[in-house]
Amino acid sequence: MRLRKRPWVKDEIFQYTSYSVEDPTQLKGKWQEWFGNQNPIHIELGTGRGQFITTLAKRNPLINYIAIEQKQEVLVQAVRKAVHFELNNIKFILGNVNNLLNFFGEQEISRIYLNFIDPWPKKRHAKRRLTHHLFLKMYKQILVDSAEIHFKTDNELLFEFSLNELSGHHFQLKNISLNLYRDEEEIENHVQTEYEEKFINQGKPIYRLEAKWLGTNQKNWRN
């Protein structure tokens, strides 16, 4: 369902000046300075309503989190969650993932979360998938050596595509799951998104992997 744009939403997002970043390009390479500490920075691309990343921020006060979302009507709900819980280790960017290199400097990010991204199922749209090698090339420029990408999806074909892209571009795959919640105890160990909760209730398997960036010492890593 397409959300109607409400002109006041953007104003509300940016009224929370300690949480929202109106011009993230000004903070490129300076995010730790803005957080006021040297803690590692984790980012989520396409944060939606923010249940996942605000829960992580509550659980891990010694990690800084940045949530990126281009739809202001859902991002405002994520910002409200952070305000409600008085989180001081999370910031929000209203922006497009295509501009990632304008937001972050080289080796500034320690982890990227990709949760239930658009699968873009048509072959001609493959370049739009956030696990396509053109996006991976961008990620490599902002990730520290040995940083990780954590990826979850309900789409089997996207998962297969992502496995091939990551393994073929100097990422080491680990903790691969074809049905994350097959074992009941697993539910306690993973933070869920709003979409994830819905898919679990529908009985859909959740695919998950972790991909470790092997670093700039790898030959031809920019390819």
Radius of gyration of the chain (CA): 17
C-alpha–C-alpha distance, residues 160 and 205, integer Å: 14
What would the two tokens of residue 79 be? 């910002």
Asked if residues 65 and 86 have their Cβ atoms less than 8 Å apart, the reply is no
Beta bridge partners of 174: 210
Whether 118 is a known active-site residue: answer yes
Cα 151 to Cα 131: distance, rounded to the nearest angstrom: 9
- Burial class from Cβ neighbours inside 10 Å (0-12, 13-18, 19+) for residue 78 reads buried
Show Cβ contacts of residue 221 under 8 Å, excluding neighbours closer than 6 positions: 140, 170, 214, 215
HSE on the CB side for 71, CA within 13 Å?
15
Helices (H) and strands (E) in the chain — how many of each?
Answer: 8, 8
Catalytic residue among 11, 23, 118, 145: 118
Give catalytic residue positions: 118
